[in-house]
Structure 1
Amino acid sequence: MTTLAARLRSDLRNPLFLQGYALMANTGITAVLGLGYWMLATRLYSPEAFGEGQALIAAMRLFASLTGLAFVGVLARFIPLAGRRTGELIVRGYMVAGAIGLVAALGFLLTLPIWGPAYSALGGFGPGLFFLAAVLVWTIFTLQDVALTGLRRAVLVPVNSMLYGLVKMGMLVGLAGAMPGDGIFVSWVLPTAMAVIPINWLILRRWAPAARHDGPPPTAREVGRFLAGDFPGALSALLVVFLVPVLVAAWLGDPRLFGYFSVAHSLGCMLCVLTANMAVSLTVESSGRRDELARNVRATLRRTFTLVVPVVLFVLVGAPAMLGFFGAELSAYGTPLLRLMALAVLPGVLIDVHLGTLRATGEAARLAVVQIGQAVLVLGSVAVAFPVWGIAGVGYAIVGSQLLVAALVLPRVLKDQALDIHA
């Protein structure tokens, strides 16, 4: 116990682990409050409204992330190097990501009939305009956590998530009587808008102007070259996370069944975020510090597996009980998917650490190859497996794809973590 406490104190003095642990804590807080939110939703709203709310949130997150997640890599890579231009870099990231997300969401609204009845609530000018505003707000909300991490303020991310989650739950309860059909989506969006204002005031007015870096800031050409290589891969990665639920909603055509799928899938994605968080911290702490990369890769692998393996085992055993809080039918329907997604987290550690390393070293072309290949494998496998095994087929597709990609990147991961062992 003494050794464990000493190790934890040592880790908290290391920016790599401090930021990684803060982001992992954020994932845990988000998961716990998310469980509470969706349990309340199942009790306060009809199964149809529950599934419809899940479908609208999935679509919003898809379009908000179209370029939002692409700029995750850019901000993590260049904020530590931007110095006096940090605020400009962050604002440009917000603007470009938000504009492209809005254009894509508008295209979705104009072709709404082909997406099936799950999205019929977005018909009309008012609902469509609210959806577009939600996409813009969620884009900024997604990127502000990366901005905080790049500014080495990641310890504030879980605090913000806790306040946001509590307000969201309170609004869910308050809107149940007044908006029985739309309360879930509205209660998700309005607290997001409330959260982005104070955080970004602090980012842009206090912390970004105080950012310092000894070398010259990155040029627009450098950022553009990195983004050109990173964007195709990042787009592919987000399609795996956010396009799959939208497709499943369209394939199922039943809001009630989609609600069952979405709870299990959302929890599984939260487990995947655990490893991605440590990879973001690895990128931030290793950008421009090639001499520290191998040590950081070894440390990230060791700590991530130490934290993730017990969580995966807990989910494998406890998945039926966890989902049982939402009802016996949802538990029976969603348990196989949640267990399979938990297993996929283990090979995902190797993949995410490799991606974080590639971002730190600026290897955008290889980054794109890995992520595009992963997306093609997952989406192709889902299309084949879903008609055969239903929603469990999504889990089989993800596990199989993660194992194959992890096996392919393993030699490079071993090389990266061994670079300075004999130096």
Structure 2
Amino acid sequence: MSDRSVLQKILRDLRNPLFRNGYALMANTGITAVLGMGYWLLATRFYTPEEFGSGQALITAMRLFASLTALGFVGALARYIPIAGRRTADVILRGYGMAAATGGVAAIGFLLTLPMWGEIYSVLGGLGHGLFFLGAVLVWSVFTLQDVALTGLRQAVWVPVNNLVFGLVKMGLLVALAGSLPEGGIFVSWVIPTAIALIPVNFLIFGLQVPKHVRETAGEARPPGLREMGRFLAGDFPGTLSMLAIVYLVPVLIAARVGEATFGRFSMAHTLGCMIELLAMNMAISLTVEGSFDRSRLAANARQALKRALLIITPIIGVACLAAPLILAVFGSEFATEGTTLLRLMALAVLPRVLIEVYLSSLRALGEARKLAVVQIGLAALVLASIMALFPFVGVNSVGYGLLFSELLVALLIFRSLRKVLKGGETGRHRVTQRSPEAA
């Protein structure tokens, strides 16, 4: 296929909201990956290996507690913002409030039990440091949901813009604090730009995009009732909480078992692996949004999303596997020595994860909360059990082996059901049996 025909295909795709949102989110992942690598590269140059690992550990813990409810609302906001109509602002604000409240309570519990979490987190023992960490959790809770709110409003094009500015400011502050705040500068440089970003992005959401969305969907909106959203969250949240254990709890547990410098090298490979995985998840979120707008198009959109995701992600996985030592060597030879196997395993695990994410997003669009919970909890249990069993033998590489084995197994188990979704069997059944809004 010529370069011109590829460009024409992409331009055609951009007229489709599914791909416009999906490409925007994938572009955001690419921007985040590049700026993230630049940020951590600067961190290795301006901070000691111990401070590098400590900063990674604090950021991971912050994101763990901030995401306890926030990630649970990712699926719900993607599912209900498109049809919320006049209640759109209320749906988003409820998500913000519950995420911040849950994250705050969890962070307080963490701070009160610091001795249980290892020496690496002892820096949070003082009142001032503890309060700053608590504030960071509250800020990140809202920051986590901003992107999905814009995606649900079909304005994902603003997501990479926001994160481009955020990433650049974060890098500048990292360097500026290296001399004045050598201990804690990494964490502070991450949190301050996050707090600043809340103001313009939420003005964009509530001041401009929500009113526009309400006007454009006035004739199509079906505002969800609290009971309907509650049923969805009851099924989606336990599963999402299980997925949270894979993304954020695993690194926190690793941090409690290894030294600061070792954790820093582990977390760099782990972060890069997670960035590749985000590509699959972002296209899937867009699929949930479009499936909520029009379920009759879900099967076609799912097929196209799967095709595009594999087309984009497969070469990236190949590059990551082949060039893993070179990529990690940018940060230092020890990063390549200790992280190459982990990065390769995590990259390979993304292939089955693409299938899983497309299936999960289809279930969200169809409101199949029980199936969502079963698949997500089962995957998380497999991953955690595999890592715990393998850690004594292969150390931090157990994370890669556990992810690859578990995601391959789950992809095989859900493949038959995914084929039904792709062929339109599930969407056809739901067109017949879907209840009216009043029944909800």
Into which bin does the TM-score normalised by the smaller protein fall?
Answer: over 0.9
In structure 2, distance between residues paired with 1:61 and 1:296: 31
In structure 2, distance between residues paired with 1:217 and 1:349: 31
Tell me, yes or no, if structure 1 residue 229 matches structure 2 residue 231. Answer: no
**Alignment match of 1:384 (pick from 385, 389, 395):** 389
Q: Residue type matched to 1:360 in 2?
A: A
Deviations 1:363-397 (A, max 9, x none): 01100000000000001111111111011111000
State how 1:162-173 maps to structure 2 within 5 Å. 162-173=164-175
Deviations 1:234-289 (A, max 9, x none): 1001110000000000011x100000000000110111110000000000001152
| Helix, strand or coil at the partner of 1:153 | coil
In structure 2, distance between residues paired with 1:81 and 1:157: 21
Aligned residues: 421
The offset of 1:3, in angstroms, is: 2.2
**Alignment match of 2:322 (pick from 317, 326, 331):** 317
Q: Residue type matched to 2:149 in 1?
A: A
Tell me, yes or no, if structure 1 residue 100 matches structure 2 residue 106. Answer: no
Tell me, yes or no, if structure 1 residue 152 matches structure 2 residue 154. Answer: yes
TM-score (norm: length of structure 2): 0.94
* 1:60 aligned partner: 62
* 2:431 aligned partner: none
In structure 1, distance between residues paired with 2:77 and 2:125: 35
* 1:7 aligned partner: 9
The offset of 1:4, in angstroms, is: 1.3
Q: Residue type matched to 1:149 in 2?
A: T
In structure 1, distance between residues paired with 2:5 and 2:263: 46
The offset of 1:197, in angstroms, is: 1.1
Structure 1 range deviating more: 3-12 or 176-185 = 3-12
Q: Residue type matched to 1:146 in 2?
A: V
| Helix, strand or coil at the partner of 1:209 | helix
The offset of 1:216, in angstroms, is: 2.9
The offset of 1:337, in angstroms, is: 0.2
**Alignment match of 1:361 (pick from 357, 366, 389):** 366
The offset of 1:215, in angstroms, is: 3.4
State how 1:257-296 maps to structure 2 within 5 Å. 257-296=262-301
Q: Residue type matched to 2:295 in 1?
A: R
**Alignment match of 2:224 (pick from 213, 218, 222):** 218
* 1:23 aligned partner: 25
* 1:344 aligned partner: 349
Q: CA RMSD in A?
A: 1.1
* 1:413 aligned partner: 418
**Alignment match of 2:122 (pick from 120, 123, 137):** 120
In structure 1, distance between residues paired with 2:194 and 2:86: 28
In structure 2, distance between residues paired with 1:330 and 1:55: 16
The offset of 1:6, in angstroms, is: 1.8
| Helix, strand or coil at the partner of 1:20 | helix
Q: Which runs of 5 or more structure 1 residues have no equivalent in the other structure?
A: none
* 2:435 aligned partner: none
Q: Which consecutive aligned stretches of 4+ in structure 1 deviate over 6 angstroms post-superposition?
A: none
The offset of 1:420, in angstroms, is: 7.0
Tell me, yes or no, if structure 1 residue 334 matches structure 2 residue 336. Answer: no
* 1:249 aligned partner: 255
In structure 1, distance between residues paired with 2:13 and 2:222: 30
* 1:183 aligned partner: 185
In structure 2, distance between residues paired with 1:103 and 1:115: 17
- Relative distance call for 1:164 and 1:215 in structure 2 (3 A) is closer
In structure 2, distance between residues paired with 1:206 and 1:274: 28
In structure 2, distance between residues paired with 1:50 and 1:360: 40
The offset of 1:413, in angstroms, is: 0.9
The offset of 1:30, in angstroms, is: 0.4
In structure 2, distance between residues paired with 1:326 and 1:5: 34
In structure 2, distance between residues paired with 1:118 and 1:165: 26
In structure 2, distance between residues paired with 1:45 and 1:75: 38
TM-score (norm: length of structure 1): 0.98
Q: Which runs of 5 or more structure 2 residues have no equivalent in the other structure?
A: 429-440
Deviations 1:205-249 (A, max 9, x none): 221122233233111111111111111001001110000000000
In structure 1, distance between residues paired with 2:119 and 2:359: 40
* 1:137 aligned partner: 139
Q: Residue type matched to 1:381 in 2?
A: S
* 1:203 aligned partner: 205
The offset of 1:143, in angstroms, is: 0.3
In structure 2, distance between residues paired with 1:216 and 1:16: 20
Q: Residue type matched to 2:197 in 1?
A: A
In structure 1, distance between residues paired with 2:404 and 2:130: 36
Q: Residue type matched to 2:55 in 1?
A: G
* 1:36 aligned partner: 38
In structure 2, distance between residues paired with 1:323 and 1:78: 40
In structure 2, distance between residues paired with 1:386 and 1:346: 23
| Helix, strand or coil at the partner of 1:216 | coil
Q: Residue type matched to 2:249 in 1?
A: L
In structure 2, distance between residues paired with 1:288 and 1:202: 22
* 2:408 aligned partner: 403
In structure 1, distance between residues paired with 2:310 and 2:245: 26
